[in-house]
Amino acid sequence: MSNLSYVTPHADSPWQTYLSQVDRVLPYLGSLAKWGETLKRPKRALIVDVPIELDNGTVRHFEGYRVQHNLSRGPGKGGVRYHPDVTLEEVMALSAWMTIKCAGVGLPYGGAKGGIRVDPKALSMKELERMTRRYTSEIGIIIGPQRDIPAPDVNTNGQIMAWMMDTYSMNTGSTATGVVTGKPIHLGGSLGRVKATGRGVFVTGREAARRINLNLDGARIAVQGMGNVGSSAAELFVQAGAKLVAVQDHTGTLVNPNGFDMADTMEVLKRDGGIANYKNAERIDNEAFWDVDCDILIPAALEGQITAARANRLKAKLVLEGANGPTLPDADDVMHDRGILVVPDVICNAGGVTVSYFEWVQDFSSFFWSEDEINVRLDKIMVDALRHIYETSEKHKITLRTATFAVACERILIAREERGLYP
């Protein structure tokens, strides 16, 4: 395997996971495989220093990143995360998965991603704003409505996007609503965007469950990560008759075989920012989460959570990857051997980027759609994409992950071949 890139990946790193996934798909690409090395090399990686003055008058420096993995099919698209563990290698992998994700659902984008290594909870709102604006100015040389369009990710939200849009607009001299997505509604945001990723997890999960004859009515759901994605997906599954029986987030792990009350759960999450103080559930050890009796597991936290050892312990019949890169390659093999169906991140959580695409289109046309219109369009794109991936999976007798990569990489490399090399 070629490890040539901006960094030498260490074992089990997100970038190494991505490279392993690419190697698995190359045999199914025919003559296009000659362009395969394109997929292993990010087009552009920018590392920036982000100095800000703190409220106490001292100056602090943060390290920021923006990686554009592949722009063959259109401008870059991908989130910005604020997290103390952000690294260049992680952002490279996330940008590459965005390339696959956009191609997998047929969006006219390439993949990009950004981040700052910071604990945003340690900053005041004013400090957070100063950091966001400085970071936006630093990466402003490579972003733009038709170059690279950031969006929210871990620990970022509509307010962060509003600051980014305003900063870019101030620097270019005109209001550019299309430079970011996931904005507040009155700044050119789209209805349905906040819950879009969770909705995509639900829609692909519903279709996958139907194919394996798993009835959602009474199905037991376990969710890791109750942020925007996990909580939205959980709500939709419960509305469909399923029971949320286990939840894990950064504040702990709770189980209730009879099901969580979603209204109470959402209230606790909104009030506390975590699940720990939910009353009607038993607290268990974090590692015991992987032993919980459930039918559907939704990892919706960070990457690298399902190891081979944990995969051997899972009781679930269906795994829906709400997070990016939650499963290590060895764990993929274990779950395949055990007959556990995995709907991979690169299709399962593509609802967010799909509605980001809708937002971008609406910003360009200054014509906005209703939430019902958006959900109907989202559901159709997700269902059609998953159907095509299923057909590819059955044709080649490969997992849904490798099938998604096969569909996406074919589209990316056809674009690369047709565009040719310049000069």
What region does 95 belong to: left with phi over 0, alpha with psi -120 to 50, or beta? alpha
Closest CA relative to residue 203, chosen from 391, 357, 382: 382
Active site residue 113: yes
Tell me the HSE value of 297 on the side-chain side, using a 13 A CA sphere. Answer: 28
Distance, in Å, from the CA atom of 125 to the CA atom of 123, rounded to the nearest integer, reads 7
**Which two three-digit tokens encode residue 352?**
């967010």
Measuring CA to CA, how many Å separate 422 from each of 35, 41, 303, 416?
15, 17, 35, 11
Closest CA relative to residue 345, chosen from 365, 364, 367, 328: 328
115: which strand partners?
65, 81
Out of 113, 183, 195, 243, the active site residue is 113
CB atoms within 10 A of CB 356: 27
Measuring CA to CA, how many Å separate 349 from each of 85, 104, 201, 283, 365?
22, 11, 5, 28, 26
- Residues catalogued as catalytic: 113
